[in-house]
Amino acid sequence: MKIGFIGLGNMGAPMARNLAAAGHDVAGFDTVAPCPAGVLEAASAAEAAKGADVVLTMLPNGAILRAVAAEVIPAMQPGAVLLDCSTVDVESARAVATMAEAAGCMAVDAPVSGGTGGADAGTLTFMAGGPDAAFAKVAPLFDVMGQKAVHCGDAGAGQAAKICNNMILGITMIATCEAFALADKLGLDRQKMFDVVSTSSGQSWSMNTYCPATGVGPKSPADNDYKPGFAAELMLKDLRLSQQAAEAVDADTPLGQAATGLYEQFVEAEGGAGKDFSAMLPRFVARGRHG
């Protein structure tokens, strides 16, 4: 396939490289980042989109996505698919889909799970929203870039799935960190705590797969000085998106709201930026109920 790829940052670059390595004809554009091996550099986003079967975007937020979509959609050929893999607000995903349809193109919002490691290895999970025909057209690209793609529904459904998943993740990580900090203060050994909880009703992905306690459970960022697998500021971004979505549809999400507030405090006032989102554990250990 002929692919235009806009946004060649930490996630986009390895994804574009994997597509080129699989034999696709990839033209790339980024305002700052260089093109990875095998990707032809385009002079602009519109030029990368010209004549492409699929235009793939991997961008920081909804406002930038809307601006890029306004630039590339007029350059796209009828029937082409705008495949957005950014994590953005549901409204932006739906607005871009409407723009694409009005121009005779199709759109799929397909945010990813798996981080930079998954992008590099081609093992991402995609949560996709959009028409069946558009999903079918981009499915072979998901096979190259990832190991799983779930078609979640119409435009915006991919973003909704990602936001809901990561709201759960943020909440469960905080609960896991709180419990370890409490266990410490009760004199309970961390390994014993893990052995019980990981096989009991308190188990979760945060505990079993990505344990925030150093030297406990499978290897995780806790064993690498909390260098990010998933940075705390990215978790904050996703939690804010969850609360923006909850506000828009009048959903009651008190724990999502509390998690957002805690990550906000951690990232913006307590030096959490640049650390993994599981670095909440040393934060709780250092604190007591009365500050």
Residues forming the active site: 162
Residue 151: name the closest of 98, 99, 109, 89 by CA.
Answer: 109
Q: Which residue has the tokens 């069946």?
A: 132
Backbone angles phi, psi at 125, to 5 degrees: -110, 135
> How many CA atoms lie less than 13 Å away from 162 in the CB half-sphere?
32
Question: Residue 177 in 3-state DSSP?
Answer: helix
Query: Which tokens sit at 159?
Result: 């973003």
Backbone angles phi, psi at 15, to 5 degrees: -65, -45
Query: Which tokens sit at 22?
Result: 């699989």
Whole-angstrom Cα Rg for the chain:
20
Query: Which tokens sit at 284?
Result: 């709780």
For the packed helices 90-102 and 157-185, what is the interaxial angle rounded to 10 degrees?
A: 160
Q: Give kind and range of the element (H or E) at residue 257.
A: helix 254-269
Residue 255: name the closest of 169, 188, 190, 129 by CA.
Answer: 169
Determine the Cα–Cα distance for residues 124 and 142; give it in Å rounded to an integer: 8
Query: Which tokens sit at 128?
Result: 């996709």
